[in-house]
Structure 1
Amino acid sequence: MINRHIQSDLENRLFSGKAIVLMGPRQVGKTTLIDMVCGSRKDVLYLNGDEPDIRENFSDITSDELIAIIGSNKIVVIDEAQRIKNIGLTLKLITDKIKHVQVIASGSSSFELASNIKEPLTGRKTEFKLYPLSYAEMVKHHGLIKERRLLEQRLIYGYYPEVVTAAGDDARNTVNELADSYLYKDLFILNDIKKSYVFEKLVQALALQIGSEVSPHELSRLIGVDKNTVNKYLDLLEKAFVVFSLPSLARNVRTELRKGRKYYFYDTGIRNAVINNFASLAQRADVGAIWENFLIAERRKLLDYKRIRHKMYFWRTTQQQEIDYVEERENRFHAFEFKWNPSAKARISKTFTRAYPDSETAAISRENYEDFFDVH
């Protein structure tokens, strides 16, 4: 069993008087994590929002009905909670009226779950996000040397638990199945998206442009839908944990881009499955983009798991000066350039360092990438 970074934190929040909300993509191990947290306890009631009778019984339920259903159980786990109508009010009733019971709600669609719980559970919830496995988690699981040796495999096939534990060539089959079966499931179910082929073309376009600035206008021309639809779909993809975006940093330089945005995949294996390219890194022209995606996704996991408040950007000027990744923490910027080839020179723009003189800067390559996975 691979231990998850947030397990101890989640365990420490049990019976603190607040609902626990666990969000993340499908198939990243949310149910497994909850099972590990609950251990061998016999007083746990498991409910699944994918089941029709659970959705029916828990929509608009009263506190008396909840007490009867929960019985003597001390923990109530509601999986795929976003599928239950008015789930926020149900969680509020349990938290307020049945104080000795700990409720844990998990869901794979942050937008539905968050919108249904935000107002009812204000001040009554602790939120966690669970992502695909991380480099740090795998180092802890089987050691630094082995994980270093598997770096290329991780860049190609990603960190979904089923992929990591797959044997031999099964990794490719598994990540393809995950991409085909789960990538768009929540979006299609919850948003009644009819033109799935258009949606898939958009994801493919994003996959081919990781590390590059994305223009909704260009995407709309490419896939044949209006810009408003593109923006809607981009927003849904972020809220469903398929991709995340970085805005452009624009504070002190007149020529800084102010409206740009880059998109990255939470998992490079899913990205490669979308474009059906699992070639070795030596055969690829996009190795730099994959490396950049991998590093930024790992950094995001790290910061979120450690609950470090931060903002993430890229930086570029109209003169094409650029920095791959800029992180803002405690009112200070940390700028990074990424190079797959350790011998390639990485230069931090002097325009940036003059504009932001208190910034820390670094170049990250295969020789020092582990330093990037630790926040000093």
Structure 2
Amino acid sequence: MIIERTVKQQIKKALDLGQLVIVIYGPRQSGKTTLIKSITDEMSVQPFSRNGDDLFTQKEFSTWELSALKSIIGDNKLIVIDEAQRIANIGIILKLLVDNLSVTIIASGSSSFDLANKINEPLTGRSQTILLYPFSYQETKINYQQTLPETALEEMMTFGMYPKVFQLTSKEEKENYLYNLLNNYLYKDILNFENIKKPKVVVDLLSLLALQIGKEVSVAELAQNLAISQKTVEIYLGLLEKMFVIFNLRGFSRNLRKEIYKTSKYYFLDVGLRNALIRNFNPLDIRQDKGELFENWFIVERMKFLNNNNHRANLYFWRTYDQQEIDLIEEKEGVITGFECKWSKNKVKIPQEFLDTYKNAKYQIINQENYLDFIT
């Protein structure tokens, strides 16, 4: 079954409006190539396609000479470049093309660090950037029409949302795919970053973060455990975010002196990858981390829902020095909403200080019964 991507309509609209450069970025294996093909298959012109991972393509596009670029492109009007960040000075090259040729360009990449730096700046005002996450529940819910809700949730919390996972049937196949994703893509991408001198340390850092999801992270403590400097830890955390492996939420503070706002919580963009990292695909009923997994999974799904439906929001967590806390704070169009994720069915006490401080704020407890109301 072909699963339609929600952001496809955003891309088609941008093309219809005459946008010259569409930049699609997101994690490796999130479905960028498949999405682009589904779009170009519906267009009246055939694309000129290249992959930046290919050494020939990197050499082919290494020139800044317009005449040479014209001879490469020929009469093609639609250019598609996968993994565009692998091509040196790709932003300047694309600028040359759109400034001098009647072309439309769709470029994709799996590193926001490289893609943002190399494409967006030279093409300011002439490119539109689309973030493509792995599948969202909103996109895959049709797959679970004949599945009990609790079974579907456990499946997603265990194996994550990468598109390939939904093509596989057995537990063993899914586990092997996620292990291969770690070894063949993640670790190799880490090696490709010039700033990373000790790749094993980065893997150790990820393993530490995998055991701390939902908790505030101390850079000093991570540095001490890894026997490296705090500055190095901060660099590695930044790179892992730009590779779409992890993301961080900062503390929310507007009014109270005792609100914590200088620390971060780190989550994984896909919980399946996180489970592969710690080698744990056990059933939820015997796992000690199911509450943290549910929190991580829901926050990512909420992020996807906002992104895929073109809603703009700032996301944080909230905590005070006297241990009152809320997992996720969403600030959207002047409205503040708190989301507290709870796997257990125990009664949850609403942090009264939050409601007293932010008079017009909303508050939602997210559990196994109502989570779908906020991600579909």
Same fold (TM over 0.5): yes
Conserved 8 A contact 1:138-1:147: no
In 2: Cα distance, 1:185 partner to 1:97 partner: 36
For 2:7, give the aligned amino acid.
I
Quick one: distance in 2 between partners of 1:258 and 1:88? 36
- Residues 337 and 347 in structure 1, CA contact (< 8 A), matched pair in contact too: no
1:121 partner amino acid: L
If the length of structure 1 is used for normalisation, what is the TM-score? 0.95
Deviation at 1:144, TM superposition (A): 4.2
Which residue of 2 is the match for residue 269 of structure 1? Answer: 272
Distance 2:37 2:46 in 1: 12
Counterpart AA for 2:263: G
Write the distance in 2 (CA, Å) between the matches of 1:364 and 1:223. Answer: 35
Tell me the CA shift for residue 32 of structure 1.
0.6
Q: Which residue number corresponds to residue 325 of structure 2? A: 322
**SS of 1:14's equivalent?**
helix
Who is 2:356 aligned against? 354
2:167 is matched by which residue type in structure 1?
T
- Residue aligned with 2:156, SS: helix
Preserved CA contact (<8 Å) 1:337 1:362: yes
- 1:290 aligned onto 2:313: no
Show the counterpart of 1:58. Answer: 61
Match in the other structure for 1:39: 41
Unaligned residue ranges in structure 1 (runs of 5+)? none
What is aligned with 2:231? 228
Deviations 1:200-256 (A, max 9, x none): 110000000000000100100111111000000000010110001000001111110
Indicate if the aligned counterparts of 2:268 and 2:296 stay in contact, CA closer than 8 A.
Answer: yes
Structure 2 CA distance, aligned partners of 1:208 and 1:193?
A: 22
- Structure 2 partner of 1:85: 88
Distance 2:203 2:148 in 1: 32
Residues 326, 333 of structure 1: 8 Å contact kept: yes
> Secondary structure, in 3 states, of the residue corresponding to 1:162?
helix
Cα-to-partner distance string for 1:97-149 (whole Å, 9 max, x where unaligned): 213x110110111101111123211001000011111100001x435453834
Q: Is the 8 A contact 2:45 2:77 kept in 1?
A: no
The equivalent of 1:165 in structure 2 is 167
Deviations 1:30-79 (A, max 9, x none): 10110000016552110111111211221233333222222222210011
Counterpart-to-counterpart distance in 1, 2:36 and 2:27: 15
- Deviation larger for 332-341 or 189-198: 189-198
Aligned to 1:26: 28
- In structure 2, relative to structure 1, the CA distance for the partners of 1:192 and 1:315 (3 Å cut) is closer
- 1:134 maps to 136
What pairs up with 1:148-227 in 2 under 5 angstroms?
A: 148=149, 149-169=151-171, 170-191=173-194, 193-227=196-230
Q: Is 1:107 matched with 2:109?
A: yes
Give unpaired runs (5+ residues) of structure 2: none
**Which stretch has the larger CA shift, 174-183 or 74-83?**
174-183
**Which amino acid in structure 1 is aligned with residue 227 of structure 2?**
G
Distance 1:278 1:236 in 2: 27
Whether the 8 Å CA contact 1:327–1:333 is kept in 2: the answer is: yes
The DSSP-based 3-state class of the residue aligned with 2:305 is: helix
Contact kept? 2:190, 2:199, Cα under 8 Å: no
Q: Which amino acid aligns with 1:304?
A: N
Contact 1:204/1:275, CA 8 A, preserved across alignment:
yes
Deviation at 1:7, TM superposition (A): 1.1
Q: 1:59 to 1:348 in 2, by over 3 A?
A: farther
> CA 1:329/1:229 → structure 2, altered by over 3 Å: closer, same or farther?
same
The answer to whether the 8 Å contact 2:63/2:69 transfers is no
Distance in 1 (alpha carbons) for counterparts of 2:342 and 2:71 = 59
The residue type paired with residue 322 of structure 2 is Q
Q: How many angstroms apart in 2 are the aligned matches of 1:304 and 1:184? A: 27
Q: Deviations over 1:229-286 (max 9, x none)?
A: 0000000010110001000001111110121100010100001111111111000110
- Look up the SS of the partner of 1:259 in the other structure: coil
State how far apart, in whole Å, the 2-side matches of 1:193 and 1:96 are: 36
Aligned to 2:243: 240
Q: Helix, strand or coil: the match of 1:184?
A: helix
Task: Tell me whether 301-310 or 108-117 shows the greater mean CA deviation.
Answer: 301-310
1: CA distance, partners of 2:38 / 2:19: 21
Distance in 1, Cα, partners of 2:236 & 2:281: 26
> d(CA) in 2 for partners of 1:346 and 1:171?
35
Mapped to 1, the partners of 2:166 and 2:191 lie a distance apart of 27
Identify if the C-alpha distance between structure 1 residues 223 and 238 changes in structure 2 by more than 3 Å, giving closer, same or farther: same
Q: Secondary structure at 1:13's aligned position in 2?
A: helix
Residues 235/71 of structure 1: CA separation in 2 closer, same or farther (3 Å cut): same
In the alignment, which residue of structure 1 is the partner of 2:147? 146
In the superposition, relative to structure 1, how do residues 189 and 211 fare at CA in structure 2: closer, same or farther (>3 Å)? same
| Structure 2: distance between partners of 1:365 and 1:202 | 30
1:22 and 1:194 mapped to 2: Cα distance?
A: 29
Residue of structure 1 in register with 2:123 after alignment: 121
Alpha-carbon separation, structure 1, partners of 2:314 and 2:255: 17
Structure 2 equivalent of residue 365 of structure 1: 367
Q: How many residues align?
A: 371
Kept in 1: contact 2:45–2:78 (CA 8 A): no
Amino acid of the structure 2 residue aligned with 1:268: V
Hey, what does 1:8 align to over in structure 2? 9
The answer to whether the 8 A contact 1:336-1:364 is kept is: yes
Query: In the alignment, is the contact (CA less than 8 A) between 1:338 and 1:346 conserved in 2?
Result: no
